[in-house]
Structure 1
């Protein structure tokens, strides 16, 4: 029998992020994964701003940027007849998301009202992201990796979980005993299926789409400065699709089409039509895929939980698949660490589903709206004329207007990325204030309990979010003295809850915090706020630790 505090099934981005997040809190884990190597398919093409904040807290943001698109490269989205043009519109500087990452970081530094994230997003393909996380995990003494191992089954009892894993080559079996088991094993999750948890929604709602991954050393020359746009939405009579440049190599491209090759079409003819001229390229792989809008009915039972694609399957419109999984791992890891380290209460693990399931559903709704916007922009567009006449130019201008008004929600949705809130959770202490407006596109900074702490910089250039270590709660206080916060510190110490007090005295930060005191969890979400330390500090500490 092999013992580990946490057994993680699935070694993709979410499983590896969970293992690394646990290690940052001193908790050991084992990761088992069917595959022996990381993926060779581009898959995702962006780590969004909230996920980059998470990776920053874990000390990984700079490594991910080094493996992704150069920080000075464009992040533009365009609508065009083909990659060779004509281009109807190119969305560039209208929002933070289109800015090169280096320029985005400058804009964030200049922001003092909390309306921007701590980190800009990063364009990177999953085939380039996974090796970064895997290398980090391999070098971590708290993480045992068993790639090439298959989960055969598990049983749980009041004290833990006993799992049986098989080596995929030899068939040798091992029993693993853990306090908790987490399934990060993808859409066909064995962990979810063993728990008999079904998805909530209609499968295959849109039917079958088609994808072609190809490589070319010539296509980048079609774009200004030899930099392919992030996304080129192709719309013209007889052809529609999306050409994605997912990584920094300027050689990999992914073409999405709304249907498989029709009679008389070849893969090459489809790629040629998307490019708009005959260039050299190599087709790496292709095939149909089925976009989904699914969320699991439950996120786990007793000592077994699920995260990532095991909890949700989204069409990539809006880029919320893996990014939702990263924030699930971020929410889950500190709670697991609290239980392993002995200060988490009996309600803490229940709060994972209570907090994250509504967010998964909210994100699904946003993805549906994004998908509808794409369909409308491509298939309900004004007639496109490609000539040089005034009528043709007017038609292309109309296309540009409709594209920007509809498709922009895929990219500019800071509200859904950093504005999500944990409502009515057992570990969040509500106050008497009304909930501020919430929108999936526009983000309004707030410390309303359950919200992510808004970010701004102090006079020394240190960000509020950077002052929240992943191993501790943080009490931000304005005009406070040690004696005033001592009862809360003592209550935390008696419960073995790690708590740090940080004084805030800059006027713009006081305004941003909204109340004199703001208590922030390790995952950077506000769990209590008020203008005075409560009379019953033990009750407050017990609430936020799930006791």
Structure 2
């Protein structure tokens, strides 16, 4: 058996696993990714990326490719309920145009695109990074100790095995995560809400669709009660039906039966149909009791399964990966203490639980089972994706502030530089003639942004780097960078003598509204806190 060594082993090459790989590559972390399937998913699964997720992807150089891929879905705006595509229309509305969020994000709108079209773009980018990607390879055995993780990998075609030793392992292996099961990590929540089967098929839908283009098309007839989706070629679709696994096990959904269901949904009895794949899955609301066990971390569906209403699941998983990646990179590079990794669970677990509750409230409202009190508790989707707040040892709260354990969802237009929240988006002009967002300033290391008159904070950041070896970036407003419209100081709640420390994930780690005595000592303490006493 041959041995390989790497810093991080990523198990799972789906949407979140590939995103994890890209974030690690962005931070220069060597890693291996393994995926049990031979290629990316052919099932649409997750649909839509919120602007916050696209902000993260923009730094990876994939946003433009994603927008190009999504161009064919621009007119798919109908939300309908029909007996079949050729039958009676029971209800028909049009989904409003996506809200313009250019005032809160450098990415102006939601991306409408399915997982099967997103994953190949991420895979292509991962290959451009030179990542060691091993599809058709499954995790066979797993052991860990205080020094690292030892995994035995098996090639599913040949049966050949290789052993990999890694400092850390990231499990992005889905809702039924074998890694999570091996670790004995339980999940909490409402559990399985519904059993579903997705049927991916090929058929000519141009005639039945006529000039209509659906974002959501519900089918209601004696043979089919489900949801029918179609792509921009109009020759490929997905039919999702609910089933009872006790009364009708998955193996009773043969290709012949699935083809008949598709014909009934389309309303053409003799429609030529090719069944490409069927996939059983559970609509569920579950969050892992913990996101880590030793040197193994859970991301995406392995950590949480969120009902699909609202489209939060994949976006939340990608944001998991982004949070974890910079922390692993800092620890592996000696820039942070290993206990920084404890803040991954402390930060992302509460966000997932709160997001799961939001999705469940939306599901209840859609089913007509919500009440007035529940409906007022439903947060706007942009608040859910942009407005959560981290509370952990990697955040230094404002002095005398009282904070709770669970995140509140803040209107993203009200973000004001409170520690633990995402930095507000402002356009800045540089002396070099470029226009950049505040969100792109912090990248691979923490960034100290000093007020226009806060030279002492700027100098202190440079002094911390010289004295401790902890690398900080620093800039001072007005020194090569100026606001285009809104005042940076007002947006962050500081004076011209104040400062803000932004973490590599674009979240505020600490701020001081004004000057303070002994800024070097203050900043030493802050950096030691956020990076788990790396400077102590």
TM class by smaller structure: 0.7 to 0.9
Contact 1:42 1:127 in 2 (8 A): yes
Q: Which residue of 1 is the match for residue 196 of structure 2?
A: 209
**Relative contact order (alpha carbons < 8 A, sep ≥ 6): 1 or 2 greater?**
1
Question: Aligned partners of 1:485 and 1:86: how far apart in 2?
Answer: 64
Which of 178, 202, 208 matches 1:190?
178
Question: Aligned partners of 2:172 and 2:293: how far apart in 1?
Answer: 15
Give CA-to-partner distance per residue, 1:188-229, whole Å, 9 cap, x none.
22221222111113432x242343333343348736xx4623
Contact 2:287 2:303 in 1 (8 A): yes
Q: Which residue of 2 is the match for residue 282 of structure 1?
A: 273
Question: Aligned partners of 2:465 and 2:207: how far apart in 1?
Answer: 56
Contact 2:425 2:437 in 1 (8 A): yes
Q: Which residue of 1 is the match for residue 425 of structure 2?
A: 455
After TM superposition, the structure 1 = structure 2 runs for residues 196-235 of structure 1, keeping only pairs within 5 Å, are: 196-204=184-192, 206-219=193-206, 222=209, 226=211, 228-234=213-219
Q: Which residue of 2 is the match for residue 150 of structure 1?
A: 138
Matched, 1:59 2:27: no
Contact 1:208 1:289 in 2 (8 A): yes
After TM superposition, the structure 1 = structure 2 runs for residues 254-333 of structure 1, keeping only pairs within 5 Å, are: 254-259=238-243, 267=258, 270-271=261-262, 274-275=265-266, 280=271, 282-284=273-275, 285-286=277-278, 288-333=280-325
Give CA-to-partner distance per residue, 1:100-125, whole Å, 9 cap, x none.
xxxxxxx444x3xx3x5634221222
Shift of 1:337: 0.5
Question: Normalising by structure 2, what TM-score?
Answer: 0.83
Q: What count of residue pairs does the alignment treat as equivalent?
A: 497
After TM superposition, the structure 1 = structure 2 runs for residues 357-376 of structure 1, keeping only pairs within 5 Å, are: 357-376=349-368
Higher deviation after alignment, 454-463 or 363-372: 454-463
CA RMSD of aligned residues (A): 3.3
Question: Normalising by structure 1, what TM-score?
Answer: 0.81
Q: Which residue of 1 is the match for residue 45 of structure 2?
A: 43
Question: Aligned partners of 1:13 and 1:513: how far apart in 2?
Answer: 33
Gaps of 5+ in 1: 97-106, 381-401
| Cα distance change on mapping 1:499 and 1:441 into 2, 3 Å | closer
After TM superposition, the structure 1 = structure 2 runs for residues 383-402 of structure 1, keeping only pairs within 5 Å, are: none
Higher deviation after alignment, 62-71 or 15-24: 62-71
After TM superposition, the structure 1 = structure 2 runs for residues 336-485 of structure 1, keeping only pairs within 5 Å, are: 336-376=328-368, 413-423=381-391, 425-431=392-398, 432-433=400-401, 438-439=408-409, 444-458=414-428, 462-485=435-458
Matched, 1:74 2:75: yes
Matched, 1:242 2:227: yes
After TM superposition, the structure 1 = structure 2 runs for residues 121-140 of structure 1, keeping only pairs within 5 Å, are: 121-140=110-129
Contact 1:50 1:119 in 2 (8 A): no
Gaps of 5+ in 2: none
Higher strand share: 2
Shift of 1:526: 1.1
Contact 2:198 2:238 in 1 (8 A): yes
Question: Aligned partners of 1:347 and 1:237: how far apart in 2?
Answer: 57
SS in 1 for 2:283: coil
| Cα distance change on mapping 1:435 and 1:127 into 2, 3 Å | same
Matched, 1:252 2:255: no
Contact 1:468 1:522 in 2 (8 A): no
Contact 2:395 2:420 in 1 (8 A): yes
Question: Aligned partners of 1:216 and 1:538: how far apart in 2?
Answer: 64
